[in-house]
């Protein structure tokens, strides 16, 4: 009886070691698959954002031009030509209560930004979609995630309003000051 118990214990131990080895192999395979698909970890893609200059209205009055300084605070280079999932500067609009109105308002080209470097990027916000709203600007890795998922703080601009005491078609910032018209 004692020899059967020892034999059974040996078989159980051998099975446990075999299953453990298979599990380790599967974990390594899953990690390799994850990195080969371009899905990025939290530390890889992070940025800080700041306005380069005050927003301007385009000469035709249809867009608000926002230029953003994007500093790469992560460990991987990113930008609009990053593969397999490119990274663009993107925006969504939200109302006065903070509710997102348009999740995918607009995208803009983002130059490649190496870790520690800063690049300037411009995004054109459609006036007809943002009057009475504010806009949150952040990089987004297409088909993966917005950078706020990895700790990047969005850049908020607005709200933008039609100026009450100015000529028709003028757009004002949150303080009621008309936006300057961009040079052509």
Q: Could you give the number of structural domains in the chain?
A: 2
CB 129, CB 95: distance < 8 Å: no
Average pLDDT over residues 90-94: 95
Select the more confidently predicted residue: 61 or 84: 61
For 96, the domain range is: 47-172
How many of the other CB atoms lie within 10 Å of CB of 106? 20
Decide if pLDDT at 86 tops 70: yes
Residue 114 included in any domain: yes
**Partners of 176 in the beta sheet?**
none
pLDDT of 117-156, one tens digit each? Answer: 999 999 999 999 999 999 999 999 999 999 999 999 999 9
pTM: 0.74
Decide if pLDDT at 40 tops 70: no
150 and 61 part of one domain: yes
- Count the residues in the chain: 184
Residue 38 included in any domain: no
2 and 58 part of one domain: no
pLDDT of 19-33, one tens digit each? Answer: 344 443 333 333 333
Identify the CATH number of the domain in which residue 118 sits.
2.60.40.10
């Amino acid at each position: 009886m004692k020899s059967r118990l020892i034999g059974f214990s040996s078989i159980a131990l051998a099975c446990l070691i075999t299953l453990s080895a298979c599990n380790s192999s599967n974990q390594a395979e899953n990690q390799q698959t994850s990195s080969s698909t371009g899905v990025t970890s939290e530390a890889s893609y992070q940025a800080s954002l700041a306005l380069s200059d005050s927003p301007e209205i385009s000469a035709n009055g249809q867009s608000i031009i926002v230029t953003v300084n994007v500093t790469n605070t992560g460990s991987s280079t990113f930008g609009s030509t990053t593969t397999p999932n490119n990274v663009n500067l993107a925006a969504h609009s939200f109302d006065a209560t903070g509710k997102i109105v348009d999740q995918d308002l607009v995208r803009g080209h983002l130059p490649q930004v190496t870790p520690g470097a800063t690049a300037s990027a411009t995004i054109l916000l459609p006036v007809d979609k943002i009057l009475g709203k504010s806009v949150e600007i952040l990089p987004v890795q297409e088909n993966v995630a917005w950078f706020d998922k990895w700790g990047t703080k969005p850049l908020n601009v607005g709200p933008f309003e039609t100026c009450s005491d100015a000529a028709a078609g003028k757009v004002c910032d949150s303080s009621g000051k008309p936006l300057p018209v961009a040079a052509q």
